[in-house]
């Protein structure tokens, strides 16, 4: 499946899919989408890149080991529940803050950080599985 056309379009398709996965991630705590679906889209993007160019270029593009990304995501998702505990509420209760950034009030929630953690867990885990399958195949 390493045709010239596929290899030529794979980097652009990967970049577009990763950008779309971030969009799905960031809109997910208010609308359909979120960390899980965004992580699956991003992992699919890296799988496409791996099919076109092989495993070593994907590992270079990720810069970190996929299971390290998953572990960091698990830490982020867990830490998203700490502010609610400090506020005397049950673990992972969603809290909102409204900081002013450049003079505009921005709504920030702990659910966003939980979604980012889930995104990283799914991205790391699925990418690790896909890369190990691709390595075995070659």
Residue 38: pLDDT band with limits 50, 70, 90: very high
pLDDT tens digit string along 84-111?
Answer: 999 899 998 989 889 998 999 988 888 8
Q: What is the pLDDT of residue 108?
A: 85
- Residue of 71, 24, 66 lying closest to 43 (CA atoms): 66
Q: What is the pTM of this model?
A: 0.89
Please check the confidence at residue 30 and state whether its pLDDT lies above 80: no
Q: In terms of pLDDT, which residue wins out, 137 or 82?
A: 82
pLDDT > 80? residue 123:
yes
């Amino acid at each position: 499946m390493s045709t010239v056309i596929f290899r030529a379009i794979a980097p652009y398709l990967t970049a577009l899919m990763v950008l779309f996965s971030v969009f799905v991630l960031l809109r997910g705590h208010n609308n359909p989408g979120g960390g899980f679906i965004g992580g699956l889209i991003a992992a699919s993007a890296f799988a496409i890149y791996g099919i076109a160019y092989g495993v070593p270029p994907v590992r270079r593009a990720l810069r970190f080991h996929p299971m390290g990304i998953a572990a960091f995501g698990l830490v982020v998702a867990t830490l998203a529940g700490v502010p609610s505990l400090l506020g005397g509420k049950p673990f992972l209760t969603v809290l909102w803050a409204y900081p002013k950034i450049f003079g505009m009030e921005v709504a920030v929630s702990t659910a966003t950080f939980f979604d980012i953690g889930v995104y990283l867990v799914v991205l790391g885990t699925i990418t690790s599985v896909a890369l190990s399958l691709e390595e075995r195949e070659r």
